Structure 1
């Protein structure tokens, strides 16, 4: 297990301390002016890395600050940063304060971070300056090699405030502009948060509405301590339409509306995801043969799914803080045993009769049309193939939207096929260059966070949002579980790593 590596720099001479993988310099009495900087290589992979930088002001109070340092090696560069305005000229890196974190009293601290790239090696910087005052002292702390094992999760004390300010007021209304998601004012925005599962299964498994979990103000407050700005809510088609399940029909619908309204009022954008649908499927990789919505089907049905989206769109039209994820994880390519990929892509977009699926399929175009027919202008998420890990032909088979307000939906887990930066660059990056992309589910089934660290670093560099699976206290032994209770206690190490990242990254 790879330990965290720290580079601590402080004013004055130093003595070396090494314990439990920590290499530090402890200075004697500090000068009246100056600073300390802790530079942490949070994670590293071939050609890239993520670093967090903690700054403490030891001098007089300041209302703004500029941190500078030099990379030791040619080829090291900042590709994208947060909580500061980052620039680089040759080896010199400059991070200037934002409006909300510029004031640092004597002893005051703030944390910033960035995603970087390197060519041959990635040594840590050895000298920093704050507003022109050098932080003297140095340390040789080894930079971790490419991540091959689970790193120790970063520790974030409960009292540590977010390094990015939490939302205040209601969640922003959203729209698509080019390849960006924007607020109504034109500011670019990323949906960063979690999935809150159970709306898809509890009503058909005798577990009530939300699997006995709270969806009250206290539970939302717990999410806000993680700086969560988006919650993806999986839904059940039968329960919404009153075809089966308990609660169902109007009672189920009202519970969804109440939770959505609570999230929006707290500055959190809900993503309504159609997860389980009606239609009997007994073909290749069949999860169950039940005609009712008790499992994941390869595609939605023409019989009921347009009706579902008509109802959801009518319920939430006029509230563009709510995003519609039209269908969770299509796999018509699996249903035809991957024998005709163009046919699978046509099935995804156009529906109708699809190889290996016995019921009439509703394509993504049918669902876009159903939503827009209501007059709803909400942003729509549209999935790809192979449980939406495959976006290779997404642009070719993108459904037509008269409002041009479609986002490509992508899911990424450590057990998927596309799990390398080269795959992400060639497949997902090509889509993200033309339309917004949202990673509706990210995770890893090992309870660690080394894989999602790499995914998030890549997504951050492309300014793509993500919602991790899952905000449910099911035990980390099940994998991809972020919390141990609805008070927001993170699991170790998966939840700890994700929480620390959300507290450092900017939307």
Structure 2
């Protein structure tokens, strides 16, 4: 249900052509209609389309404005996959502009795709205007510009019967889906009810059901506004509905509303992270709260190196108390470099530390960080590949040191497994490969960046099968819809051509990762098309027994 919540937003408010008596200028619509249709959710991102129709005349220059309902709704992209429609957002107000030469035809809809962030609640946009004219309720019927010459036969389907006019109408108005409650919770339930003509509502009954429990009567009300309360509820999910009865015994039930009661501590949990143009935003999955979120992580070392050498997993404490101390010091993000062989449990890794024990340790640490409001950044650091060229750290094919690029096979296996374990958590950020350095073996800068993006033949100088950032991103986002980082060349320090060779993200959730070449150099470059996340502890900070710069 979370990934397929459909809603139709239509706002109408304009005169239809033919009813107007004043001739408008060429840039004005004589009428308009707009629908905003949510199609599906991918993680914390809503995808849909805006359907715009200019009624009565074509518009060579046009501007569409509308108001979103919640601050957690931030536009990420408008337009096709490779052609963005000009747009801007200030608070909840969104403005779309037509492209040069982009004419809205008369009396035929234009469909514009969009992606935007979402929180627990998905609202209804309002106040649509097209070139200053308020727009009509729904799209009027339109004729196809190119009718099918040989229409296929059609079959007549009997319409389903409408609601019984003699039965009352009832609707829950409070709470709404996505309203947050915290244990021990009191939920006030409210409904409207309307009887058929000539009849009266005699009573409204309210019912609730918890997870794995029986349906219970919450209360009965005989006068409007019809309300009841459910008190002292523990954390969990609950289903609410109402039944209206009239004075002749007719009855009808409302649609159910599903709400969740959270533990009080869940208020602190880390927000979902999403790319909005050149910034990262934190979007609360519980309450209506959203704001740009700057990530300047500390680095939790050990998991990339110790397990593969039989020395354990971490090089310092990762328990609840250690995580609480980090939160108390205001740490907002922690960078966690991993080893693909340890995560996958390959045969040469000590069984005490690789495979399931390793995954359980990393997963538990990630959840502890999320619970106290810290953003975990999970990265692939040490990978397979026999590299013996310039700058080689080791000549071993195994994942016992940092290699210049991710291995074509093992990296995909690693991210598919990580995605199945952690990919559903929008509060976690993922770094595809922490320290790429193919430019040490490839002198031509253009070829180095091509290797970085495309892998395969462009990386032949590395001597082992390589997957590029573009394919790795596409394949990884099959399992992980959240934010993916792509570090630049020179071990992550060079972002000079990142925007030219940037990998495309179908979820519009790709960002750049940058590592300082010199400890203490904390001035990352800025990009116009993507956020830049510093993925090394910067400036150098020493938290006793826990962290150190990598």
TM-score, normalised to structure 1, is: 0.52
> 2:543 — aligned with what?
483
Give the match's secondary structure for 2:307. Answer: helix
Is the aligned partner of 1:359 residue 2:419? Answer: no
Is the aligned partner of 1:264 residue 2:359? Answer: no
> 1:178 — aligned with what?
277
Deviation at 1:481, TM superposition (A): 5.8
Deviation at 1:195, TM superposition (A): 0.5
Query: Among residues 523, 531, 538, which one is paired with 1:436 in the alignment?
Result: 531
Distance of 1:192 and 1:182 partners within structure 2: 14
Deviation at 1:186, TM superposition (A): 3.8
Deviation at 1:266, TM superposition (A): 1.2
Counting matched residue pairs gives: 276
In 2, are the aligned partners of 1:413 and 1:442 still within 8 Å (CA)?
A: no
Distance of 1:231 and 1:345 partners within structure 2: 28
Distance of 1:485 and 1:361 partners within structure 2: 36
Distance of 2:332 and 2:267 partners within structure 1: 11
Query: Among residues 208, 212, 223, which one is paired with 2:326 in the alignment?
Result: 223
> 2:493 — aligned with what?
389
Give the match's secondary structure for 2:489. Answer: coil
> 2:342 — aligned with what?
239
Provide, for residues 348-372 of structure 1, a one-character-per-residue CA deviation record: whole Å limited to 9, x for no partner: 0111031431111011112112212
Distance of 1:229 and 1:186 partners within structure 2: 15
Give the match's secondary structure for 1:263. Answer: helix
In 2, are the aligned partners of 1:275 and 1:328 still within 8 Å (CA)?
A: yes
Is the aligned partner of 1:313 residue 2:419? Answer: yes
Distance of 1:223 and 1:186 partners within structure 2: 22
Query: Among residues 188, 207, 225, which one is paired with 2:292 in the alignment?
Result: 188
Which residues of structure 2 form unaligned runs of 5+? 1-265, 284-288
Give the match's secondary structure for 1:289. Answer: coil
Give the match's secondary structure for 1:192. Answer: coil
Query: Among residues 311, 317, 330, which one is paired with 1:214 in the alignment?
Result: 317
> 2:382 — aligned with what?
276
Is the aligned partner of 1:341 residue 2:445? Answer: yes
Q: Greater strand percent: which structure?
A: 2
Deviation at 1:323, TM superposition (A): 0.4
Is the aligned partner of 1:401 residue 2:505? Answer: yes
Is the aligned partner of 1:371 residue 2:476? Answer: yes
Deviation at 1:415, TM superposition (A): 6.3
Give the match's secondary structure for 1:221. Answer: helix
Distance of 1:329 and 1:188 partners within structure 2: 26
Distance of 1:302 and 1:379 partners within structure 2: 21
Provide, for residues 26-80 of structure 1, a one-character-per-residue CA deviation record: whole Å limited to 9, x for no partner: xxxxxxxxxxxxxxxxxxxxxxxxxxxxxxxxxxxxxxxxxxxxxxxxxxxxxxx
Query: Among residues 438, 446, 465, which one is paired with 1:332 in the alignment?
Result: 438
Which residues of structure 1 form unaligned runs of 5+? 1-166, 444-451, 453-479, 495-507
Distance of 2:359 and 2:522 partners within structure 1: 40
Distance of 1:415 and 1:356 partners within structure 2: 30
Give the match's secondary structure for 1:253. Answer: helix
> 1:74 — aligned with what?
none
Deviation at 1:188, TM superposition (A): 1.1
Distance of 2:363 and 2:471 partners within structure 1: 24
Deviation at 1:250, TM superposition (A): 1.6
Deviation at 1:229, TM superposition (A): 1.1
Distance of 1:228 and 1:340 partners within structure 2: 40
Distance of 2:533 and 2:447 partners within structure 1: 25
Distance of 1:190 and 1:254 partners within structure 2: 28
Change (3 A) 1:420 1:369: closer
Distance of 2:478 and 2:406 partners within structure 1: 18
Give the match's secondary structure for 2:494. Answer: coil
In 1, are the aligned partners of 2:297 and 2:537 still within 8 Å (CA)?
A: no
Structure 1 runs of 4+ off > 3 angstroms? none
Distance of 2:541 and 2:384 partners within structure 1: 27
Distance of 1:255 and 1:366 partners within structure 2: 29
Deviation at 1:434, TM superposition (A): 2.3
> 1:298 — aligned with what?
404
Query: What RMSD over aligned residues (CA atoms) do the two structures have, in Å?
Result: 2.3
Deviation at 1:414, TM superposition (A): 2.4
> 2:212 — aligned with what?
none
Distance of 2:427 and 2:519 partners within structure 1: 32
